[in-house]
Protein backbone atom coordinates (compact mmCIF):
# COMPACT_ATOMS: atom_id res chain seq x y z
CA UNK A 1 0.00 0.00 0.00
CA UNK A 2 2.01 2.94 -1.30
CA UNK A 3 -0.05 5.62 0.46
CA UNK A 4 -0.28 3.91 3.85
CA UNK A 5 1.59 5.71 6.64
CA UNK A 6 2.10 2.55 8.72
CA UNK A 7 3.42 0.62 5.70
CA UNK A 8 5.96 3.41 5.23
CA UNK A 9 7.02 3.32 8.88
CA UNK A 10 7.10 -0.49 8.97
CA UNK A 11 9.31 -0.62 5.86
CA UNK A 12 11.66 2.16 6.95
CA UNK A 13 10.50 4.64 4.32
CA UNK A 14 9.73 7.05 7.14
CA UNK A 15 12.56 6.94 9.68
CA UNK A 16 11.23 6.07 13.14
CA UNK A 17 12.66 5.01 16.47
CA UNK A 18 11.63 1.39 16.64
CA UNK A 19 11.16 -0.17 20.09
CA UNK A 20 10.85 -3.66 18.64
CA UNK A 21 11.34 -5.24 15.24
CA UNK A 22 11.33 -8.75 13.89
CA UNK A 23 10.53 -10.30 10.51
CA UNK A 24 6.80 -9.63 10.87
CA UNK A 25 6.15 -6.55 13.00
CA UNK A 26 7.54 -3.28 14.29
CA UNK A 27 6.65 -1.28 17.42
CA UNK A 28 7.05 2.47 17.92
CA UNK A 29 5.67 5.23 20.10
CA UNK A 30 2.33 6.77 19.20
CA UNK A 31 2.56 10.29 17.78
CA UNK A 32 -0.19 11.49 20.12
CA UNK A 33 0.26 9.49 23.33
CA UNK A 34 -2.81 8.87 25.49
CA UNK A 35 -0.80 7.49 28.44
CA UNK A 36 2.80 7.65 29.73
CA UNK A 37 3.45 4.50 27.70
CA UNK A 38 1.62 4.40 24.37
CA UNK A 39 3.21 2.12 21.81
CA UNK A 40 1.82 0.83 18.53
CA UNK A 41 2.54 -2.71 17.35
CA UNK A 42 2.23 -2.82 13.56
CA UNK A 43 2.51 -5.76 11.16
CA UNK A 44 4.92 -5.27 8.26
CA UNK A 45 2.32 -6.73 5.91
CA UNK A 46 -0.66 -4.53 5.15
CA UNK A 47 -3.81 -5.81 6.84
CA UNK A 48 -6.52 -3.17 7.13
CA UNK A 49 -8.13 -4.70 10.20
CA UNK A 50 -8.22 -7.76 12.41
CA UNK A 51 -11.09 -9.03 10.24
CA UNK A 52 -8.54 -10.02 7.62
CA UNK A 53 -6.85 -13.39 7.73
CA UNK A 54 -3.73 -12.30 9.60
CA UNK A 55 -1.09 -15.01 9.30
CA UNK A 56 -0.06 -16.97 12.36
CA UNK A 57 3.59 -15.80 12.41
CA UNK A 58 2.38 -12.19 12.49
CA UNK A 59 0.04 -12.89 15.40
CA UNK A 60 2.87 -14.61 17.28
CA UNK A 61 5.14 -11.64 16.58
CA UNK A 62 2.50 -9.19 17.80
CA UNK A 63 2.42 -11.00 21.13
CA UNK A 64 6.22 -11.02 21.31
CA UNK A 65 6.28 -7.29 20.60
CA UNK A 66 3.77 -6.65 23.39
CA UNK A 67 5.87 -8.68 25.81
CA UNK A 68 9.00 -6.81 24.73
CA UNK A 69 7.33 -3.42 25.24
CA UNK A 70 6.02 -4.51 28.65
CA UNK A 71 9.52 -5.55 29.66
CA UNK A 72 11.16 -2.37 28.35
CA UNK A 73 8.79 -0.13 30.30
CA UNK A 74 8.61 -2.45 33.32
CA UNK A 75 4.85 -2.92 32.98
CA UNK A 76 4.70 -6.60 33.82
CA UNK A 77 3.90 -6.17 37.49
CA UNK A 78 1.63 -3.15 37.35
CA UNK A 79 -0.19 -4.10 34.18
CA UNK A 80 -1.14 -2.44 30.93
CA UNK A 81 -3.89 -2.46 28.30
CA UNK A 82 -3.93 -3.62 24.68
CA UNK A 83 -6.49 -2.23 22.25
CA UNK A 84 -7.18 -2.94 18.59
CA UNK A 85 -9.66 -0.44 17.20
CA UNK A 86 -11.60 -1.93 14.31
CA UNK A 87 -13.74 0.20 12.04
CA UNK A 88 -15.84 3.30 12.46
CA UNK A 89 -17.58 2.62 15.78
CA UNK A 90 -14.20 1.96 17.39
CA UNK A 91 -12.77 5.15 15.88
CA UNK A 92 -10.09 3.46 13.80
CA UNK A 93 -8.29 6.25 11.95
CA UNK A 94 -5.35 4.41 10.37
CA UNK A 95 -6.56 1.57 8.17
CA UNK A 96 -3.51 -0.60 8.74
CA UNK A 97 -3.90 -3.09 11.59
CA UNK A 98 -2.22 -1.92 14.78
CA UNK A 99 -2.34 -2.83 18.43
CA UNK A 100 -2.11 -0.08 21.05
CA UNK A 101 -0.13 -0.85 24.21
CA UNK A 102 -1.12 1.62 26.93
CA UNK A 103 0.28 1.83 30.43
CA UNK A 104 2.38 3.59 33.00
CA UNK A 105 -0.63 4.95 34.91
CA UNK A 106 -3.92 3.58 36.25
CA UNK A 107 -6.15 3.37 33.18
CA UNK A 108 -9.51 3.06 34.85
CA UNK A 109 -11.60 -0.03 35.34
CA UNK A 110 -13.89 0.23 32.34
CA UNK A 111 -13.24 -0.74 28.76
CA UNK A 112 -13.92 2.72 27.34
P1 LIG B 1 -6.54 4.28 15.71
O2 LIG B 1 -7.53 5.30 16.19
O3 LIG B 1 -6.59 4.07 14.22
O4 LIG B 1 -6.65 2.99 16.48
O5 LIG B 1 -5.13 4.87 16.11
C6 LIG B 1 -4.22 5.40 15.22
C7 LIG B 1 -3.08 5.93 16.06
O8 LIG B 1 -1.99 6.18 15.22
C9 LIG B 1 -3.41 7.22 16.81
O10 LIG B 1 -3.23 7.01 18.20
C11 LIG B 1 -2.42 8.22 16.22
O12 LIG B 1 -1.93 9.11 17.20
C13 LIG B 1 -1.33 7.32 15.67
N14 LIG B 1 -0.63 7.85 14.51
C15 LIG B 1 -1.20 8.35 13.38
N16 LIG B 1 -0.24 8.70 12.50
C17 LIG B 1 0.94 8.41 13.08
C18 LIG B 1 2.30 8.58 12.66
O19 LIG B 1 2.61 9.04 11.57
N20 LIG B 1 3.26 8.19 13.54
C21 LIG B 1 2.96 7.66 14.77
N22 LIG B 1 3.98 7.31 15.54
N23 LIG B 1 1.70 7.49 15.19
C24 LIG B 1 0.69 7.87 14.36
ZN1 LIG C 1 -0.32 -0.34 5.38
Q: Is residue 52 part of a domain?
A: yes
Given a cut of 90, whether residue 101 has pLDDT beyond it is yes
Task: Report yes or no on 108 lying in a domain.
Answer: no
Domain assignment of residue 112, yes or no:
no
58 lines ligand 1 (CB under 6 A): no
Residue 12, judged by CB atoms within 10 A of its CB (0-12, 13-18, 19+), counts as exposed
28 in any annotated domain:
yes
**Distance between CA atoms of residues 12 and 33, nearest Å:** 21
State pLDDT tens for residues 41-95: 999 999 999 999 999 999 999 999 999 999 999 999 999 999 999 999 999 999 9
The finding on whether 31 has its CB within 6 A of some atom of ligand 1 is: yes
ipTM of the complex: 0.99
| Domain presence at residue 72 | yes
CATH code at position 24: 3.30.428.10
Question: 89 lies in which domain range?
Answer: 5-103
- Return the pLDDT at 111: 81
Q: Residues with catalytic annotation?
A: 98
Residue 103 pLDDT: 98
Q: What is the number of structural domains in the chain?
A: 1
User: Does residue 19 fall inside a structural domain?
Assistant: yes
**Inside any domain, residue 17:** yes
* Ligand 1: nearest atom to the Cα of 28: 22
Amino acid sequence: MSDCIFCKIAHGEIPSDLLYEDDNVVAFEDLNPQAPVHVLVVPKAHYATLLEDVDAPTLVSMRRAVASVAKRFDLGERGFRCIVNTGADAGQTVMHLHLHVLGGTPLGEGLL
